[in-house]
A = this chain, B = another copy of it.
Amino acid sequence: MFSILLPKTFNFFDLLEKQAGFSVEAARFFKEQVSNDGINEVTLQKMRDIEHSADDVAHEIIHRLNTTFITPFDREDILSLTKEVDDIADMINTILSRMVIYKLKGGDRSLIEFSLVIEESVRAVNSAIKGLRNTKNSALIQEACVEINRLENVGDSMRDMVLAELFERAKDPIAVIKWKEIYQDAETVLDICEDVAHIVDSIMVKQA
């Protein structure tokens, strides 16, 4: 690498924050959509736009990472962080897209509850990533990561309860197939947020 020709550094924090911001937007939009029964091709396009914007920032981060000489923390950690954060909006988009494909309406009480927990968790992800800018924020970051882990546990229990209910009342197997996947996907968003928390955690430990 002709490192002399490369920019010596680059403000990754700005880009990471921007990326996390799109995740929050995706989570907020998702919450609104599942709460009413207006999910259709138009709302789906809106979600896709958010997801593409998030994608663009991820690509820029990866490009910068490959062409910048000095990074604020481990290159590998930034890469992992960007990829995981990218997965958040991706997964939320996938759920909404599946709902349209499966012709599922909004207004499902369990999914609405999931969407609230998802939004909380993604907001905590956002706080943690904003905090990375300054090592003084370690208490704040720690707090956000604990919250994300807590919400993942909440999501686990919700999914278990919701699936138990679904199979309990199961009459239409096709509906079971559809909703089982949706609920599991919803819980996956919380898993992804937890993965982000783990990466942030390990970045903090290394910088301690």
Instruction: Mark A residues whose CB is within 8 Å of B.
Output: 1, 62-63, 66-67, 97, 101-103, 160, 163-164, 167-168, 170, 173-174, 176-178, 180, 202, 205-206, 208
Question: Of B67, B164, B167, B206, which is within 8 A of A174 by CB?
Answer: B167
Is the contact region of chain A dominated by helix, strand, or loop, or is it mixed? helix
Question: Of B67, B173, B174, B206, which is within 8 A of A66 by CB?
Answer: B206
**Docked-complex contact B167 and A205, CB < 8 angstroms:** no
* Chain B residues closer than 8 Å to A62, beta-carbon distance: 202
5 contacts between A and B (CB under 8 A): A67-B205, A97-B160, A101-B163, A167-B174, A173-B177
| Copies of this chain per assembly | 3
* Chain B residues closer than 8 Å to A176, beta-carbon distance: 174, 177
Shortest Cβ distance from residue A70 to the other chain B in the assembled complex, whole angstroms: 16
* Chain B residues closer than 8 Å to A103, beta-carbon distance: 164, 167-168
Question: Of B163, B168, B177, which is within 8 A of A180 by CB?
Answer: B177
Chain B residue with the shortest CB-CB distance to A162: B101
Known contacts A66-B206, A205-B63, A178 near B167 by CB under 8 Å: yes
